[in-house]
Chain A
Amino acid sequence: MSICGSFSMSGVPNGKQDAIEKGYRDNIPPPKDVTKVQDGDGTWTITAEWPPCPDDVTVQHSANNLAAAGD
């Protein structure tokens, strides 16, 4: 498990939204979905969705890493 949940970037200038969307899609691992919404001021909010986070995901990640480091 690496990236989980949703991440967004708002205030993206008109004309840049496709590039930012593609940048999100390029991620490793790629998101499940990417949406673009134009806001009232003409800028865009790009939201990328990864699989939902398990409960307390950050703790779990750190615990695993530290356990490995302690080996």
Chain B
Amino acid sequence: MLAFLAGCSSLSGYPSNYQNIDEALAADAPFLSAAVRTNAMAADNQARGGLSPQQYRDTVVYRRIEVIDINYYDFEAKLTGTNAALALGSDLTLLVLNGLGATTGSAAAKAALAAASGGIIGANAAIDTDIFYKKTLPALISQMRASRQTALVTIERGIGRPISAYTLDQALNDVNTYYVVGTLPGAVVQVTSKAGAEQNAADAQLTELRSIRYVAPSPGSSTQIILNWLYPPNGDQINPVVRANLQKLTDWAVNDTIDPTIKNTPWQQWVSDPSTKSENARLRAIIRLGIKEK
């Protein structure tokens, strides 16, 4: 095996394509024409090579998907095969950095952001291709694959329906989406919109926590357990606070990776708030800090 590997001048990670690409693309060419729309509406099956409108729709869709797939995997192989394969234009660089650097949240965004914050752009605004290829690109490829799969499911569902419920025009729109989500700018849009949604949820939660209503803690509740720990013996905040415990609670909140909101709020808000998210935060704190019920 080692001898085999040593004998290879380069290894891209992608085996050679099993089909004759040129022949496949030539066979698919008639289905890429704009004429498919008029063919689909022709009264006679003759214009569709003897296919019914539904059969023709399905054939056009699958042939176009085949072309997109051939080009996509060639594109992906070139992306990952060598750092020199992608001409990282300034537009894409800025798109990646502006899009990912301003938002956070998903694992993909995290990886991409880490790369961005790690100094993709140097003093002369040139891209650090090594960091881009090691960190940002895998996240974007992962996003492209996931989005392509999602788009494909939409198409598969569509062509399972009659032509009256899923016209060729609708199908072609979905096929175009399938193409777009397999592009780097398409992946950036997906990553940033997901991260944006997560950010909006965190912002909404913070807004809710800014104004809460007093709720008398019931005995044995997570709120009362934490209050007793901070303000022994009965949790009344008029008692002197156990500063060491409050510091532990504060430090835990700052480092909690599940709920990014609580580190930005006074402890009263999430310790008193009756929402499920705050209750979960309290339970995590109790377990993590080993707070015992007194």
Question: CB within 8 Å of B: which residues of A?
Answer: 2-13, 16, 18-20, 22-24, 26-28, 31, 43, 48, 50, 57-59, 61-63, 65-67, 69-71
Known: A6-B210, A8-B210. A59 touches B199 (CB 8 A): yes
10 smallest CB-CB distances across A and B, nearest first, come from A70-B114, A23-B237, A67-B117, A19-B238, A19-B237, A62-B104, A11-B213, A11-B214, A12-B214, A26-B241
A10-B213, A13-B214 known; 20 new pairs, CB 8 Å cut-off, are A3-B265, A3-B266, A8-B210, A8-B211, A11-B213, A19-B236, A20-B214, A23-B237, A26-B246, A27-B268, A28-B250, A59-B104, A61-B263, A63-B102, A63-B103, A66-B117, A67-B118, A70-B111, A70-B117, A71-B114
**In the complex, chain A residues whose CB is within 8 Å of the CB of B214:** 9-13, 16, 20, 43
- Give the Cβ gap from B114 to chain A, nearest Cβ, in Å: 2
Choose among A19, A57, A66, A71 the residue with the greatest number of B CB atoms under 10 Å from its CB.
A66
- Interface pairs (24), CB distance under 8 Å: A3-B266, A7-B265, A8-B211, A9-B214, A9-B268, A11-B214, A12-B214, A18-B238, A19-B236, A27-B267, A28-B247, A31-B266, A57-B264, A58-B202, A58-B260, A59-B102, A59-B103, A59-B104, A62-B105, A63-B104, A66-B110, A67-B113, A70-B117, A71-B118
**In the complex, chain B residues whose CB is within 8 Å of the CB of A11:** 213-214
- Give the Cβ gap from A25 to chain B, nearest Cβ, in Å: 9
Closest partner residue, chain B, to A8 (CB atom): B211
Cβ of B180 under 8 Å from chain A:
no
Chain B: how many interface residues by the 8 Å CB criterion? 44
Interface string of B250-283 (1 = CB under 8 A from A): 1000100000110111111100100000000000
- Give the Cβ gap from B110 to chain A, nearest Cβ, in Å: 5
Cβ of B120 under 8 Å from chain A:
no
- Give the Cβ gap from A27 to chain B, nearest Cβ, in Å: 5
**In the complex, chain A residues whose CB is within 8 Å of the CB of B260:** 58, 61-62, 65
Separation of A53 and B113 alpha carbons in the complex (Å): 23
Q: Is the CB of A66 within 8 A of B264?
A: no
Q: Which of B211, B216, B237, B264 contacts A26 (CB 8 A)?
A: B237
Q: Is the CB of A58 within 8 A of B206?
A: yes
Q: Is the CB of B266 within 8 A of A63?
A: no
